[in-house]
Structure 1
Amino acid sequence: MNAKTLLIVVTACLGLAACGGVDPNSPLGKRQAIFKDMLRTSEDLGGMLRGRINFDEQRFATGATKLDQLSRQPWQHFPQVQEGDADSAARDEVWQREERFQTLVRELEASTGQLASAAQARPLTAQSVAPLVQKVEDSCEACHKEFRAY
């Protein structure tokens, strides 16, 4: 393949790659960004409890507070009426069973609030917060099982 042909192929591939994706300013883009930040934060907390990352009291407490703040944000980006978001991982049931969805949202917010409060106590140990992290993880999983399309 000569250089000119290669340049055309690379340019075409880059052009096609730029066409797709989610608008970061759309409701879908905003909630996906928050959910990704929640995932990164919770993975760090879980990593400290499971020995993948060294347990650090201050870093854990900061992460728990951040997770609590994040857990209250994505819901405002679920429009009242379902939009035609082909890239969304939300099932139709989010809009069809809104009361149940809101119940699970409140359970997550309560569990992250408990974790953030407990993480302020000193000395802070992995053993003292492990059940609360598990409760947060269980809250996430419960909502995903009912409302997330994999």
Structure 2
Amino acid sequence: MAAALLLSGCSGPDADSPLAQRKAVFKQMLKTSEDIGGMLRGRLPFDGPAFAAGAVKLDALSHEPWKHFPAVKESEHTSAKDAVWQKQARFQTLARALETRTGELVVATEQLQLTPANMIPPMNNVEDACDACHKEFRDH
């Protein structure tokens, strides 16, 4: 039984590792994006203030995962392609594009009436920025 307990602790990445930290941020980003995107697609009732708060949260999160990508690939157990480390300039360009798009989403929540019709275009831009990076840099 003691051996099983010891081995169970070896099943995942160290919680303090860059891999675990960026995975945690990306999971939070996904959850937040799914919640506010769900409001725009009718999966959840649209709530303007909650949507705006979600946009602010997503914007803050969009600045976080990049600091958890070390200069050298640290693990083979990652969904990140080797291109992340081979094409750092391009990776950083796409990271900044996402940050820009989430910032624009926040601005839209502040300047436009909070309706699904008004929030769909800036949210689509955020999702397009996510997709662009995933296509180049993530193994699915």
The 2-side partners of 1:15 and 1:120 are apart by 51
- Give 3-state SS (helix, strand or coil) of 2:111's partner: coil
Letter aligned with residue 10 of structure 2: C
Give TM-score scaled by structure 1 length.
0.87
Q: 2:125 pairs with 111, 135, 138, which one?
A: 135
- TM-align CA RMSD: 1.6
- Could you tell me which residue of structure 1 aligns to residue 96 of structure 2? 106
Q: TM-score, normalised by structure 2?
A: 0.93
Partner of 1:22: 13
Task: Give, in whole Å, the separation in 1 of the partners of 2:113 and 2:122.
Answer: 16
Q: CA deviation at 1:49?
A: 0.2
Q: Deviation digits for residues 21-41 of structure 1, max 9, x if unmatched?
A: 111111111000000000000
User: SS where residue 71 of structure 2 aligns?
Assistant: coil
SS in 2 for 1:143: helix
Identity of aligned residues (%): 54
Structure 1 unaligned residues grouped into runs of 5+: 1-7
Q: Please show how residues 1-150 of structure 1 align to structure 2 within 5 Å.
A: 16-83=7-74, 85-121=75-111, 123-150=113-140
Which segments of structure 1 move beyond 3 Å, counting only runs of 4 or more? Answer: 11-18
What per-residue deviation string (whole Å, max 9, x for no partner) do you get for residues 98-128 of structure 1?
1111111111010000001111236311110
